[in-house]
Chain A
Amino acid sequence: MRREFDPVSLVAGLVIVVLGAVLMLDQGGDIEMSPGLLAAIFVAAFGLIMLVSGLLDSKQK
């Protein structure tokens, strides 16, 4: 069955891909991330997903 386009999934997917890329670069030593900065990025990623989801929900309602 074909699924309908879901913008929240798209944003969530992109954000998680970016998070993965950041973690890979950090592990590879290309960038230096402190644990505090990493935590800030994770928190921002989930905040962004929640915000997008909430805004879309309120728009659809």
Chain B
Amino acid sequence: MTQAQPQSTEATRLVRDPDDSIVAGVCAAVGRRLGIDPMIVRIGFVVCVIATSGFALLAYFAGWAWIPQAGGERGGKIEGKPAAEAKAERSRVPANWKVAGGVGLLTLSFLLVLRELGIWWSDALIWPLILATSGATLLWRQSRAMSPEPEEVARHPGMMSEPRGRHRAGIADLYRGGFGIALVVGAVLLFLASNDVLGETRDVVLTVIAATAGLALILAPFLWRLGRNLASERAERIRSQERAELAAHLHDSVLQTLTLMQKRADDPREVAQLARHQERELRAWLFEDERAPASESLARALETAAADVEDAHRVPINVVAVGDAPVDDRAEALVAAAREAMVNAAKFAPDAGEIAVYAELGPDGSQVFVRDRGPGFDPESIPPDRRGLRESIIGRMERFGGRAEVRSEAGRGTEVALTIGEPGS
């Protein structure tokens, strides 16, 4: 009983419900508040608009502005978002529509003032021209909305995947398309009628328009439902495709790897290597779009190098990278030296557990530490003909203005510290 209370309060409060609205839900809100079927209020409102030559629309706009939207009071919060952001999100009319409508109305007002002042050419030309331009703009926008630009999809990654978003976009397309066509057709007819081009056919045209309008009124609910069903069906189809793609990917990658792991259960190193490889692959598949490629990100380049060494030598390598930097010649040298240090650790400490790579990266300088828990060695005792450490790590870093330090102690592992630039400055 106590749970039903808020719902009943919500039902009798004067609030606009986005799910029960045709334009902004003002008539539905009034109908609910007064306990009248919203459809009756809508019909009454249309009659009022006609009777008052459109002035009743002002009341509608006022209601739109002042009646809060359902789902919280004005200034309420949505999932911890700030009140202002939550209000903007609840708003039924997208911000760009409001801006476009506002600019359109101000332009219309300016034209009306010019007309009143006599700075005017001809009603027969200018009004049809404005209507046609507005209609063409709406149709143009709709054609863009139906196939959004890649940049737009990148900016709003959820726009094509959220069913509700797609549903709303479908309804918005319907509004825009229908309204745009009506504006262009109206503009053409207005132009023809104003210039007496229609002549004797005027009666026929008026009859056709009246019949079409009547038919549209009769068919509107069916067409409306059909549009909603089509949008839902399309959303369901896209969801099914996404599910099928996910299932196919899981089968091709995760399930195959699990089968392989069962077959190699007697080789723990290979099982661990398979698991890590699969983890990397799955992460890359899930988050690939959000991350910069290895050719642009030093952190990503280090991770790629570590993955290559891990696959080649079957030794787990754990990379922790803090920050990031662009990839230039110095960064490439740093990655190459780090890779050589990882290869050395994998070759000389294969059974010493995980190799740890810790990197602090920044645009002014970067530092990478490669640690293993192997047997360790004396760096001074390395023969001169062994060029791996001397040339590929120390020499390479020095050639690019960096430095490499090798700290190793017998029985306590090895740490190679690679520094380039001024890290942390």
Are A44 and B106 closer than 8 Å at their CB atoms? Answer: yes
The minimal Cβ–Cβ distance linking A25 to chain B, given in whole angstroms, is 17
Are A36 and B116 closer than 8 Å at their CB atoms? Answer: yes
Q: Which of B73, B100, B102, B112 contacts A1 (CB 8 A)?
A: B73
Chain B: residues with Cβ within 8 Å of the partner, total of: 36
The minimal Cβ–Cβ distance linking B274 to chain A, given in whole angstroms, is 45
Are B106 and A51 closer than 8 Å at their CB atoms? Answer: yes
Are B115 and A47 closer than 8 Å at their CB atoms? Answer: no
Range class of the A interface residue count:
20 to 34
Closest chain B residue to A50, Cβ basis: B102
Q: Which of B74, B101, B107, B110 contacts A54 (CB 8 A)?
A: B101
- B21 in the interface (beta carbon within 8 A): no
Q: Which of A6, A39, A47, A61 contacts B102 (CB 8 A)?
A: A47
Chain B positions within 8 Å of A46 at CB level: 58, 61, 105
A binding-site residues for B, Cβ under 8 Å: 1, 3-4, 6, 8-9, 12, 16, 34, 36-37, 39-44, 46-58, 60-61
- In the complex, the 7 A-B pairs of residues with the closest C-beta atoms, listed nearest first: A47-B105, A51-B102, A54-B98, A4-B75, A40-B112, A44-B109, A54-B99
B binding-site residues for A, Cβ under 8 Å: 58, 61-62, 65-66, 73-75, 83-85, 87-89, 91, 94-110, 112-113, 115-116
28 A-B residue pairs with Cβ-Cβ distance under 8 Å, sorted by A, are A3-B73, A3-B74, A6-B75, A8-B65, A9-B65, A16-B62, A34-B116, A36-B115, A40-B109, A40-B110, A40-B116, A43-B108, A43-B112, A44-B106, A46-B105, A47-B104, A48-B102, A50-B99, A51-B99, A53-B98, A53-B102, A54-B95, A54-B99, A54-B101, A54-B102, A57-B94, A58-B95, A61-B88
